[in-house]
Amino acid sequence: MPHFGDYQHAIYGAGLQGVLPTIPVDFATLEQRAEAAMAPSLLSYVQGGCGDEQTQRANADAFRHWGIVPRMMVDCSIRDLSVDLFGMKLPSPLFMAPVGVAGMCTQDGHGDIAGARAAAMTGVPLTVSTLTNDPLEDVAAALGDTPGMFQLYTPKDPELAASLVSRAEAAGYKAIVVTLDTWVTGWRPRDLNTANFPQLRGHVLSNYWSDPRFKQMLAKPVAEDPRAAVMTWAATFGRVLTWADMPWLRSLTTLPIILKGICHPDDARRAIDEGA
């Protein structure tokens, strides 16, 4: 879809035939429907943040301090939202961030595929999490011509990291987004109060279950001993990365590497100097 205004016109056009949108177009109503439809434990995982959630609230509130001042009497009949970013020509300055456990958020358990289809329909690029219900190759196939990026939780096993990155590159992803701030699980009171950690129940681990290197790490196939497979995943999850790891990360792929989780300007400058 070239412009979001076209989506608006499509909605109004369908309304002439008595067809209303099945998905709310405002965030508040969408959130209300999600709260009504999702199990409390799953909703808490998706909706909740760390600690008292102050940072999460502040991040959302920050957008209220910014506005757009349009200029008039200019030709806007041809509009171009595209940007050059990470070596890619993106159709929009917006893209969807990785959301772990998104795969569980649809009734059919294929929420990652649903997100990819939405990206394909709107042209908004999608960053696909390592933690998906469907293998990264299947999610990439649903993206169509819309660019996708693969988010990597770097495992402690370097061969597993190399395998995941290689699969992402082969599947057509345009960049590797390396998460830096999850060497240990965040302190999430909503999840702790319900003792809910979906990965330990075997959810959203399809990228591991389908990985040839991970299969080599198992004494038995996942289907024969799922508990042991989960414990193997837990043991290899959460590598602590330092600047000394950048040459190794760069050696894994020719794709752009995006470092996710950087907060300090000095770290951002060094990331660029190190080739990210």
Burial readout 7-32 (b: 16 or more C-beta within 10 A, e: otherwise): eeeeeeeeeeeeeeeeeeeeeeeeee
pLDDT of residue 123: 86
> Taking CA 183 as the corner, what is the angle to CA 179 and CA 185, rounded to the nearest 5 degrees?
100
Dig out the tokens for 59 from the structure.
């991040």
Is the pLDDT score of 12 beyond 70?
yes
Partners of 176 in the β-ladder? 150, 257
Task: Please give the Cα distance from 123 to 100 (Å, whole number).
Answer: 21
In Å, how far are 33, 34, 195 from 37, measured between CA atoms? Answer: 6, 5, 21
pLDDT tens string 213-250: 999 999 999 999 999 999 999 999 999 999 999 999 99
28-37, 44-53, 54-63, 90-99: lowest mean pLDDT where? 90-99
267: amino acid identity, one letter: D
State what percent of residues in the chain have pLDDT above 90: 79
Neighbours of 187 (CB within 10 A): 10
256: nearest Cα among 86, 34, 141, 80:
86
CATH topology for 83-273 is TIM Barrel (3.20.20)
Domain with CATH 3.20.20.70 in the chain: 83-273
Rg of the chain in Å (alpha carbons): 20
Is the pLDDT score of 209 beyond 80?
yes
In Å, how far are 126, 144, 179 from 96, measured between CA atoms? Answer: 5, 15, 15
| Cβ-contact 128, 148 below 8 angstroms | yes
DSSP code, position 259: E
DSSP code, position 64: G
Mean pLDDT of 267-273: 95
pLDDT tens string 57-97: 999 999 898 888 999 999 988 888 889 988 888 877 888 99
DSSP code, position 258: E
pLDDT of residue 29: 97
| Cβ-contact 104, 204 below 8 angstroms | yes
pLDDT of residue 220: 98
pLDDT tens string 159-207: 999 999 999 999 999 999 999 999 888 899 999 998 999 999 999 999 9
What count of Cα atoms within 13 Å lies in the side-chain half-sphere of residue 244?
A: 1
Q: What is the pTM of this model?
A: 0.92
Pairing of strands 83-85, 88-90: antiparallel
> Taking CA 5 as the corner, what is the angle to CA 3 and CA 123, rounded to the nearest 5 degrees?
30
